[in-house]
């Protein structure tokens, strides 16, 4: 009998309760990146993503994540962050900044609002000013910056590993 | 003075020596996925990727990763895995299989050949038969499978976190 056999439809891990992390994304240039994030969020059992601006989820990329994740549309990030902080969420941005902590060592509070910047501008100063914590993924080589969909997916992985 | 200020060109972390991980990818349906993996590998300071089949790296997606990562082209995975095992590499596949370990708890040997399957077929049985270990990223919700570029990027993150 082979040691490893491919399982095409392995049953998912059941969560004992709803995940306490919500994603909030700045207006993105690319619907591909947003849709990649929605697919990853669906797989990790994330319940909700808040999209700012006019981004549309491409169902060919997000797959069933487009149905399993609630998508809420807002015009800008600052009021979203303020509201969630009032509700007890810890606002964590993903960005290279002066005060960022390494994702390797940051312990995510269970109630986290994860704030993702846009491809070109990242998180703007008025948004950074609202955050409790900023994390970054260490960079070792060119092109010196992760794709935003990749970076957000890695962040979700780290959160879910800590709250599994 | 603000707590967090965006740093657009933060210097990368210097590696004290070359990374001992090599990626080997099955023939992919999408050059976008291969190119995403090359970009992530570049950022993590990975030196080499072996591509099987006819995939081409899209420089608009891989960015400078297309230059910083050595790309080697081979026709099939099995001889690549055999050769690297002889050279002391631990062959780790990324796949949902009967004998997979969770990526949450797997300790990567420093000398790792990370083997990535294709979008549709994953890793085939003749490849699985050559592997020392298979890891998988836990899945909690629809669409029940991560995009291959996302999954490979998460795996590289976990390796680099362990060997940082």
Residue A76 pairs in a beta bridge with none
Section A117-127 average pLDDT? 94
Mean pLDDT of chain A: 95
Per-residue confidence (pLDDT) for residue B96, from 0 to 100: 93
What per-residue confidence (pLDDT) applies to A108?
98
Q: Which of B156, B29, B71 is nearest to A151 (CA)?
A: B156
- pLDDT at A30 (0 to 100): 92
| Residues in A touching B96 (Cβ below 8 Å) | 6-8, 10
Distance in angstroms (rounded) separating the CA atoms of residues B126 and A22: 41
Question: For residue A120, what is the nearest residue in chain B, using CA coordinates?
Answer: B8
Report CB contact under 8 Å: B139, A10. yes
Residue-by-residue pLDDT tens, chain B, 164 positions: 899 999 877 889 999 999 999 999 999 999 999 999 999 999 999 999 999 988 899 999 999 888 899 999 999 999 999 999 999 999 999 999 999 999 999 999 999 999 999 998 899 999 999 999 999 999 999 999 999 999 999 999 999 999 98
Smallest Cα distance from A51 to chain B, Å: 20
Interface residue of B134, B141, B159 to substitute, partner A, most A CBs within 10 Å: B141
Residue B86's CB: how many other CB atoms inside 10 A?
A: 8
Q: In terms of CA atoms, which chain B residue is nearest residue A10?
A: B96
Rg (CA), chain B: 16
Residue B1 has a pLDDT of 82
Whether A9 has a pLDDT exceeding 80, the answer reads: no
Strand order in the sheet with B21-25: B70-74, B48-52, B21-25, B112-116, B90-94, B133-136, B101-102
- Bridge-based pairing of strands A112-116 and A21-25 is parallel
CA angle (A24, A25, A26) in 5-degree steps: 130
The pLDDT of residue B11: 86
Residue ranges of domains in chain B? 21-162
A24-44 exposure pattern, b = at least 16 Cβ within 10 A, e = fewer: bbbbbeebbbbbbbbbbbbbb
pLDDT tens readout for residues A76-119: 999 999 999 999 999 999 999 999 999 999 999 999 999 999 99
pLDDT value of residue A142: 92
Top-level CATH class of B21-162? Answer: alpha beta
Contacts of A87 (CB under 8 A, 6+ apart): none
Cβ-based contacts of A42 with chain B (< 8 Å): 141-143
Pairing of strands B48-52, B70-74: parallel
Interfacial A residues in 85-144 facing B (CB < 8 Å) = 93, 95-100, 104, 122-125, 128-129, 131, 134, 136-144
- For chain A, positions 69-88, list CB contacts with chain B under 8 A: none
The owner of tokens 């038969």 is B129
Confidence of residue A11 (pLDDT cuts 50, 70, 90): confident
What is the per-residue pLDDT across A47-60, written as a single tens digit (0 to 9) for each? 999 999 888 999 99
Q: Are A66 and A36 in contact (CB under 8 A)?
A: no
User: pLDDT tens across B23-36, in order?
Assistant: 999 999 999 999 99
Tally: H helices and E strands in chain B: 6, 7
Answer yes or no: is pLDDT of A66 > 90: no
How confident is the model at residue A117, as a pLDDT? 95
Which residues in chain A have Cβ-Cβ distances shorter than 8 Å to B49?
none
Q: Which residues of A touch B160 (CB under 8 A)?
A: 138, 140
Nearest CA in chain A to B154: A154
User: What pLDDT score does B83 carry?
Assistant: 98
The lowest-confidence range among A5-19, A101-115, A149-163 is A5-19
Whether B104 and A68 lie within 8 Å, measured CB to CB: no
Name the residue of chain A whose CA is nearest to B119's CA.
Answer: A8
């Amino acid at each position: 009998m082979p040691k490893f056999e491919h399982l095409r439809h392995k049953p998912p891990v059941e969560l004992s309760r709803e995940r306490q992390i919500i994603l909030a994304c700045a207006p993105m240039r690319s619907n591909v990146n947003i849709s990649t994030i929605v697919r990853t969020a669906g797989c990790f059992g994330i319940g909700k993503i808040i999209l700012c601006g006019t981004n549309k989820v491409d169902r060919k990329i997000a797959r069933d994540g487009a149905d399993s994740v609630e998508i809420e549309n807002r015009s800008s990030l600052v009021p979203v962050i303020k509201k969630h902080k009032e509700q007890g969420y810890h606002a964590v941005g993903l960005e290279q900044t002066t005060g960022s902590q390494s994702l390797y060592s940051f312990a995510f509070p269970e109630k986290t609002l994860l704030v993702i910047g846009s491809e070109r501008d990242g998180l703007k100063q008025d948004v950074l000013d609202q955050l409790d914590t900023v994390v970054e993924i260490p960079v070792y080589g060119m092109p010196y910056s992760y794709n935003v969909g990749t970076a957000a997916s890695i962040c979700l992985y780290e959160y879910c590993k800590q709250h599994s």
